[in-house]
A and B are shown apart, each in its own frame.
Chain A
Amino acid sequence: MENMLQFDIDAFWIILTGTLVAVSASLLGVFLILRKMSMIGDAISHAVLPGIVIAFLLTNSSSQIPMIIGASLVGVLATFLIESLHRKSKLQTDASIGIIFTFLFAVGIILVSQYTGQVDLDQECVLYGEIAFVPLDRWVTASGIDLGPRNIWTLGACCLAIIATIIIGYKGLYLTTFDQTFAASLGISTVAWHYTLMTGVSLTTVVSFESVGAILVVAFLIVPASTAYLLTDDLKIMLILAALIGFLSVLSGYYVAVYLDASIAACMALMSGVFFAIAFLFSPGYGIAFKGRRAKMGLQKDYSQQL
């Protein structure tokens, strides 16, 4: 038996796909955590159902493009409803998230039961993608040129847009996240930045759901950012750390999946949990392993010296 080392292009595409999802989701996750809106990804994963059903009823097919458009529109709508409910009614954000996503999900279920009959129509079946098959889903032009996996292009564009928005809008996002009154006094619109962020979140989640399924996206919106939150007090470092932890989860998760021959997305999500556990135990600032020492030094989380 002769073994040789060979460049494995499939593994490369899968890890690249995972990394693009991880970086977009982790960066957005940092802002979501600081704004106490972490569960928004989970909410969107349920709220998109009516979008899918309406797209199906309008086109009478469950082909991909109408499904994605329907899901994206309802995803954006959901975040807008959540925010206006929170603003107008002075409800906590978690309560508004709960109200809106259960409402939209319920509308979706009623639409399914009333109009679609025997069609197997839910997110799992028509929207959620499978990361293992990303390398097979090529984008081939009309003239027959193979441009590589289709999802790499959509996720890549999405990831670049998120990074660009954060770099360009860093000051606005930062101020509106930590000190809304101060931001308003400088003439920065908290509402505008909030909606920018939320549009980014809903588009990223829907595009990522379509490529890699829900569990990975929901995990990456919350876990890497939470891990970074335990490790640093500096927003910039927190953003970089979150993206890095996301990437490491993808990389290690992929090899765990290969070793166990298990679901790749689940293993990546699992590894993000492992990294969180390590930070939770050993973080110099918050880890329970150093609790005694920290108490002596009187360390506290402080964001006030960052700008």
Chain B
Amino acid sequence: MSRIQRCQRYFLILFSVAVLFVGCKSVDKASQSDKLYIVTTTGMIADGIRNICGDAAEVVPLMGSGIDPHYYKATQSDLEKLRKADIIFYNGLLLEGKMTAIFEKLAKTKAVFAVSNNLSKDQIRQDPQNPGVSDPHIWFDVSLWSSCMSYAANLLVEKDPANEAIYKANAEQYLGDLKELHVRTKNKISEIPDSQRVLITTHDAFGYFGRAYDMEVHGLQGISTVSDIGLADIKEMTEMIISRNIKAVFVESSVSDRDINAVISGCKEKGHQLKLGGVLYADAMGEDGTVEGTYIGMVNSNVDKIVNALK
């Protein structure tokens, strides 16, 4: 018995010493600046807010370049960012999964906003099978995204009136750029002949894109809504591609291309040459510092790939 008691005593001592140590960390007091510190979830939001703020604020995304929200894992420094943040912007519509509940709670004590907040009900795509469940991929309709950014700009003005002039001027510029992007995208897509305006990808991120730019969208995983694609789906898809003479299909960044390759080889066997139109940016942008690492660059890159492959 005494062995056990000794063990228990060691455990208690160790635990108390550890807890005392745990509580302490080194804090660098000097590094706190007066600039607004803004944290966003996705890179797309960060890019927009950066354009609106310029040098007036520091903008940090939680999900770095190339990180898909589905695979995002938080680290210790993410918690510190959220703590330190003066304003937090997130996408909303459950893109952030379980984190959404935490943001909703934080909103009671902190400036936390979903950029999709001001969208009206009929602007948001609902799942036909489950009314009340929304498609969160709003950034692929540039006009919709533009109204999200304008909403964010108004919030920035409200939270930091000292820099009102900067935010307003930058926002005007950026929203103008987005308007241009919307028009460009529309024009580009309309270059594709009507019968070819079918976007086939691996996943389901392009619903808003299809609605805004008049393209029929099919996700391989969405045809029969089976979470894992079955052989019948591949067959069905192959038949549709051949009967409608579709030239290309697309892969989304961060989704496996195995199933789409099966469709391509299926078409080949039946004598239909189907191209892989390229990898589209879906839930995350390209690397920082590249053109595709910005929202506008990412949309342009997708549109160019789609148009080149289908025209």
Seen from chain A, the residues whose Cβ lies within 8 Å of a Cβ on chain B are 1-12, 14-15, 60-64, 109, 112-120, 124-130, 132-133, 135-138, 140, 234, 236-237, 240-241, 243-244, 247, 251, 254, 257-258, 261-264, 266
Contacts and interface: CB of A to CB of B under 8 A. Distances in A.
Contacts of B130: 60, 116-119
Nearest to A131: B74
Nearest to B129: A117
Interface stretch (B6-14, B235-243, B255-263): B6-14
B291 interface: no
A237 B23 contact: no
B42 to A, nearest CB: 15
A48 to B, nearest CB: 14
Given A3-B28, A7-B23, A241-B7, A113 B76 contact: no
Given A2-B30, A60-B132, A118-B133, A262 B22 contact: no
A133 B24 contact: no
A239 to B, nearest CB: 9
B101 interface: yes
B228 to A, nearest CB: 7
Contacts of A11: 22-23, 25
B106 A113 contact: no
A101 B29 CA distance: 52
Interface of B: 3-4, 7-8, 10-11, 14-15, 18-19, 22-31, 70, 73-80, 82-83, 94, 97-99, 101-102, 105-106, 108, 127-130, 132-133, 135, 204, 222, 224-228
Contact of A240 (B7, B22, B101, B127): B7
B227 A240 contact: no
A2 B187 CA distance: 57
A253 to B, nearest CB: 11
Contacts of A127: 98
A8 B24 CA distance: 5
B127 A132 contact: no
B97 A125 contact: yes
A6 B98 CA distance: 30
26 contacts: A1-B28, A3-B27, A5-B25, A6-B26, A7-B23, A8-B24, A15-B18, A15-B19, A112-B227, A113-B227, A117-B133, A118-B130, A118-B133, A120-B70, A120-B97, A128-B98, A133-B82, A133-B99, A136-B102, A136-B105, A240-B8, A240-B11, A247-B14, A247-B15, A257-B75, A263-B73
B24 A5 contact: yes
A132 B132 contact: no
Contacts of A120: 70, 94, 97
Contacts of A117: 127-130, 133, 225
Contacts of B3: 234, 237
B101 A64 contact: yes
A124 B99 CA distance: 11
B4 A118 contact: no
Contacts of B18: 15, 247, 251
